[in-house]
């Protein structure tokens, strides 16, 4: 009869670097997005942490916005520049 360790509880907060890994982006871009307010954070002591639930909401909201843009092809709105993206032609 083997002993199994109890499952670790899901973390509510992650570091900005961990959020970058979760999003598949680099640390530099994650830092830029935090400074721009695009990634929600809160400060606990000296640490700036990302609430995982808010991160999921942010992703869902951006997906909905992009799906809405896809249905509005040919609209008169100017294309939006992605946060942290380059404005190269």
How high is the pLDDT of residue 5? Answer: 78
How high is the pLDDT of residue 33? Answer: 96
Is residue 45 in some structural domain?
Answer: yes
Count of the separate structural domains present in the chain: 1
Give the CA dihedral 84, 85, 87, 89, nearest 10 degrees.
170
Is residue 82 in some structural domain?
Answer: no
Residues of the chain with pLDDT under 50: 76, 78-80, 86-89
How high is the pLDDT of residue 32? Answer: 97
Q: Which positions ≥6 away from 15 have C-beta within 8 Å?
A: 47, 48, 49, 50
Q: Give the range of the structural domain holding residue 48, as residue numbers without chain letter.
A: 13-67
Q: Widest CA span of the chain, in angstroms? A: 67
Is residue 78 in some structural domain?
Answer: no
């Amino acid at each position: 009869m083997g002993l199994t360790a109890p499952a670790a509880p899901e973390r509510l907060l992650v570091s900005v670097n961990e959020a970058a890994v979760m999003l598949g982006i680099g640390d530099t871009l994650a830092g830029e997005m935090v400074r721009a307010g695009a990634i929600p954070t809160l400060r606990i002591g000296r640490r700036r942490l990302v609430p995982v639930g808010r991160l999921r909401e942010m992703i869902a909201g951006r997906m909905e916005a992009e799906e809405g843009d896809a249905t509005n092809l040919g609209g008169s709105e100017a294309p939006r520049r992605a946060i942290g993206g380059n404005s190269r032609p």
